[in-house]
Copies of this chain bind each other. A is one copy, B any other.
Amino acid sequence: MVSLRDVADAAGVSIATASRALGGKGRVSEATTRLVRETADRLGYQVNALGKALREGSDGVVGIVVPMVSNPFYAALVHEFEDQLSRLNLKLLIADSHGELDRELERLEALAGRRVRGIFAVPAYFDRSRPAISKIARQLPLVQVDRRVEDDSALAFVGVDNADGIGQALRHVAEQGAGTVVFVGADDRTSVGRERRRAFETVVEQLGLAAQEPIIDRYLFEFGLSAAERLRDRPTLPDAVIAGDDLIATGLLAGFARHGVSVPGDVLITGFDGTILADICNPTLTTVQQPMATIAEAGVEELLRKIDDTGAAGAHVRLPTTLRRGDSTGARVTSSASHSAT
């Protein structure tokens, strides 16, 4: 490929002048500038970002490590981050940890090794990810997103107020007349799993609701599907189920549909995240909406702050969620006549 050397030679100037003319920095006569730029265009020159980065210490790349891009929530989040960063002329290097510890460490090190300007990370584990996250954070600017690790007061974090989100969902179903509720969510391996689960217990108590034994596993559609079955097999169905995320909620919806349990006729369901899935399922899903764009905005802002001032303390940003109403918590009348004749 054509290098700066080629352009300089073709234009008959030094490589230093060529660099300055192209970069628009330093004093260069208008004539030379024009000449160099024309030559560069003619030769199809494109600056080698690698050389530039080596010289400058870093290129305009930022990394993000998510547990699973194919989860619609992370897909949407990555999309928003890409969008925010592109405005700052920054590129996004994306890595997928598959929610696995060793893969996560490997990805983080790869990113650090290429001296990205900073890293956004959604930790795979609340406890076991801590060493890796801390180690990398010591090397370069890092902001935790959505999930965090334990004892992270020194680390930056941007996410939502999960406790309040679960509270919104619970208060909503209570208003809809639910008295007995159940939590179907993820385990304690992630901060988000913990926070939502604990919040459920706390708020249930506050509101004086009755809670059935929770069903706990991972954030997967398939889990929701099987959870619906287990719920159906119980002596009595709860009035409402609060799902840990939209994937589980839509799984529950699909599972109930297969077994002739009507939603919201027989049971109400709420999700969490506010992904496109909530519109696609039938009935549409009432869900706790995360402000994806705002999360990305705040995340980028935090990272920029860390980049500017390496010693900056790690701020913890908790954004508010909003309840997005769907039909899954509609009036408790049967919508599908075939299941329970009115």
Contact = CB atoms under 8 A, between A and B. Distances in A.
Interface of A: 1, 44, 46-51, 53-54, 58-59, 61, 68-70, 72, 75-76, 78-79, 82-83, 86, 91-96, 109-110, 112-115, 139, 221, 250, 253-254, 257, 276-277, 279-282, 284, 335-338
Given A50-B50, A139-B1, A284-B254, A94 B82 contact: yes
How many copies, total? 2
Contact of A79 (B68, B257, B279, B336): B68
Q: Which of A47, A96, A282, A337 has the most CB of B within 10 A?
A: A282
A50 B46 contact: no
Contacts of A114: 48-50, 53, 59, 61, 91
A180 B253 CA distance: 32
Given A54-B54, A94-B92, A254-B282, A276 B49 contact: no
A339 B331 CA distance: 19
A16 B113 CA distance: 20
Contacts of A94: 78, 82, 92-94
A78 to B, nearest CB: 5
A191 to B, nearest CB: 23
A114 B61 CA distance: 10
B95 A110 contact: no
Nearest to A277: B280
A257 B277 CA distance: 16
Contact of A95 (B59, B72, B82): B82
A213 B337 CA distance: 34
A276 B113 contact: no
Given A1-B139, A46-B112, A253-B282, A70 B76 contact: yes
Given A50-B50, A69-B78, A70-B276, 8 more contacts: A59-B114, A70-B76, A82-B94, A92-B93, A93-B93, A254-B282, A257-B282, A336-B336
12 contacts: A48-B54, A48-B114, A51-B54, A61-B93, A69-B69, A70-B75, A72-B276, A93-B93, A221-B280, A277-B280, A281-B282, A337-B337
Contact of A91 (B50, B78, B83, B95): B95
Nearest to A263: B282
B113 A46 contact: yes
